[in-house]
């Protein structure tokens, strides 16, 4: 058994990704982050910084290989935080988004995280039974609300599709100690947090999810400083 657990964070942006990595590092995890700016080496924070293109699902297996090569163990916590959105060229027509852009965004929002989850489950088989295994997908309200905003097309399609398979995976694997979560930060009244997302709040909540404490369901809606809140 590895003396130190590993967290793999895919999509290492300046708010959620950075805060989540910092939180898990402070909790004693070794950290690997994957993003477009990765170098394949340790960054200034000591994290393994891998280069990734989430429009290409077939690039995912190499990320897991790199993590195992560096840390000699599989990541027990896998967090998918990448996202893509293509605004329609015609603001009044959602169907002005071309098929190539639609497909590329679907790869980022749904297909690549699905492949990530596939490989996570495969790698979890190599970890001790007592190790808690968690897949966390950074979601939003678009799997439950359909705002009449064409700009949300590709993001909403991807989030909705991923929410389904994340929920199905949790139902299928929770009894084995593998948890899958669709994490969605909300305002206290349950409305979307929009662009005002709270990076540190994600870090705190994701750490709770990884502990498998509190009986949080797969559809993990949460409020900053409160944790899970059912809406």
| Residue positions annotated with a catalytic role | 159
* Residue-wise burial string across 156-191, b where 16 or more C-beta atoms lie within 10 A, e elsewhere: bbbbbbbbebbbebbeebeeeebbbbbbbbbeeeee
Q: How far is residue 18 from each of residues 24, 25, 143, measured CA to CA in Å? A: 10, 11, 25
Q: Which helix (H) or strand (E) holds 116?
A: helix 112-124
Give the Cα separation of 90 and 95 in Å (integer). 9
Strands of the 77-80 sheet, one edge to the other: 41-42, 48-51, 30-35, 6-10, 77-80, 133-138, 178-185, 219-223, 227-228
Beta strands in 52-177 (DSSP E): 77-80, 133-138
Give the Cα separation of 27 and 174 in Å (integer). 23
Give the Cα separation of 165 and 168 in Å (integer). 5
């Amino acid at each position: 058994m590895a003396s130190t657990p590993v967290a793999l964070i895919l999509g290492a942006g300046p708010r959620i990704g950075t805060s989540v990595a910092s939180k898990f590092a402070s909790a004693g995890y070794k950290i690997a982050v994957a993003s477009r700016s990765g170098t394949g080496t340790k960054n200034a924070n000591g994290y393994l910084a891998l280069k990734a293109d989430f429009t290409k699902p077939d690039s995912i297996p190499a990320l897991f290989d790199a993590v195992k090569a560096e840390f000699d163990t599989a990541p027990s916590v896998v967090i998918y935080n990448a996202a893509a959105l293509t605004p329609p060229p015609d603001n009044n027509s959602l169907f002005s988004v071309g098929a190539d852009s639609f497909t590329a965004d679907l790869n980022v929002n749904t297909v690549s995280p699905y492949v990530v989850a596939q490989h996570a489950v495969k790698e979890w088989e190599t970890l001790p039974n007592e190790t808690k295994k968690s897949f966390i997908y950074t979601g939003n309200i678009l799997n439950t609300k359909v705002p009449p905003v064409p700009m949300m097309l590709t993001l909403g399609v991807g989030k909705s599709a991923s929410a389904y398979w994340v929920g199905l995976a949790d139902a299928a694997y929770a009894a084995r100690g593998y948890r899958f979560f669709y994490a969605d930060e909300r305002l206290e009244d349950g409305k979307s947090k929009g662009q005002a997302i709270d990076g540190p709040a994600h870090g705190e909540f994701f750490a709770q999810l990884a502990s498998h404490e509190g009986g949080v369901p797969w559809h993990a809606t949460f409020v900053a400083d409160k944790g899970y809140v059912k809406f």
